[in-house]
A and B are shown apart, each in its own frame.
Chain A
């Protein structure tokens, strides 16, 4: 009996000592997208990054242990206009020869006044790291879930298209980013 109590105490202590883990999710790349909307010559257009990796640890009831860690293959840019894409990957814009990857990692999650979950994080793009906040919408569905995140990013903050290309009437400064992730439970 004493032995049993001792073992239980050790087990409970061990459980308390271990860092609590939010639920880990696998991203289904075939049904997940990372899109953005910007303007070119005053006309709105939508583009996407076709390849990205996202590590998602998220439990809506345990925001303290939530974490998103996303790496984007910037060369997978597609705005449905090959000339524009070619220019965008060049040195004046994303400069993928020098900076092929972009990285976003969360630093803290909190609930905003309107009840929405906000993920604060740091975006590293074209060698520049700046804080970026995501608005998080998480919809569980049995063993799966849908995660939608949106963010407003300013391209000029990251040195994308500066100098002669800085004019926002030619290329808008504001970029609305939308990640749509189809998740299923980790095995």
Chain B
């Protein structure tokens, strides 16, 4: 598998970005929904710190991924796709990029407006985006963070559904060319 993407499929780096960020987003969603239910203990403080660290990691990976993505061509759409499907797919992908940038940023903003520490895995401090407590924007940033998360969940249902539809109903290469492992589609049903 080449490092760079080509007409036939995604390069190894794009696939690595895709699945690494996917795994972190799933972990982050589970942690985020669980941590707010916890009683106030040192464990809760540590889980919040973990959530913040993973969020900053996702933000950095997404920025690298976008920079890489802009530097290379993308594979052609599956030939059988009508124009509306191509537009829907590209629009959905653009929306996913926007969300996976905006969700960590809104979390960082909420954390800053709350005047809470932000230390990446205990290594280094990240600056506040608000310069201290901001009681006006604090609830708005939290609402934005939560709302964007649920929009992401809805769009991921479409994204995963479309990938599975391509794979099992259309029997095309769309999922396979993003995956690691399976050989290129050879026309046989498996």
- Contact (Cβ within 8 A) A42 B117: yes
- Contact (Cβ within 8 A) B42 A170: yes
When each residue 24-53 of chain B gets 1 if its CB lies under 8 Å from chain A and 0 otherwise, what string results?
Answer: 000000000000000011100100010000
* B146 → A minimal CB distance (Å): 16
| A45→B119 CA distance, assembly (Å) | 14
Q: Chain A residues near B117: list those with CB within 8 A.
A: 40-43, 45
- Contact (Cβ within 8 A) A81 B115: yes
Query: 22 A-B pairs, CB-CB below 8 angstroms?
Result: A41-B45, A41-B117, A42-B117, A42-B122, A43-B119, A45-B115, A80-B115, A80-B133, A81-B114, A81-B115, A81-B116, A81-B133, A82-B114, A83-B114, A83-B116, A84-B116, A164-B41, A164-B42, A165-B42, A167-B42, A170-B42, A170-B45
Interface size band for A: 10 to 19
Q: Chain A residues near B115: list those with CB within 8 A.
A: 45, 79-81
Interface membership of B125, Cβ < 8 A: yes
| CB contact under 8 A between A80 and B40, given known A42-B119, A43-B117 | no
Interface membership of A137, Cβ < 8 A: no
Q: Chain B residues near A53: list those with CB within 8 A.
A: none
Instruction: Kindly list the 7 A-B residue pairs having the minimum CB-CB distance in the complex, ordered from nearest.
Output: A43-B117, A80-B133, A81-B115, A41-B117, A80-B115, A87-B40, A164-B42
Could you count the A-B residue pairs with CB atoms below 8 Å apart for me: how many are there?
33
Tell me what chain B mostly uses at the interface: helix, strand, loop, or mixed: loop
Q: Chain A residues near B42: list those with CB within 8 A.
A: 164-165, 167, 170
B40 (CB) vs chain A CBs: closest residue: A87
Q: Chain A residues near B75: list those with CB within 8 A.
A: none
B116 (CB) vs chain A CBs: closest residue: A81
B134 (CB) vs chain A CBs: closest residue: A80
Interface residues of A in 7-59 (CB under 8 A from B): 40-43, 45
| CB contact under 8 A between A41 and B114, given known A87-B40, A167-B42 | no
- Contact (Cβ within 8 A) A41 B41: no
Interface membership of B132, Cβ < 8 A: yes
Interface residues of B in 62-77 (CB under 8 A from A): none
B138 (CB) vs chain A CBs: closest residue: A82
When each residue 49-83 of chain A gets 1 if its CB lies under 8 Å from chain B and 0 otherwise, what string results?
Answer: 00000000000000000000000000000011111
Interface residues of A in 87-112 (CB under 8 A from B): 87, 90
A42 (CB) vs chain B CBs: closest residue: B119
- Contact (Cβ within 8 A) B119 A41: yes
- Contact (Cβ within 8 A) A41 B133: no
| A156→B122 CA distance, assembly (Å) | 23
Q: Chain A residues near B116: list those with CB within 8 A.
A: 81, 83-84
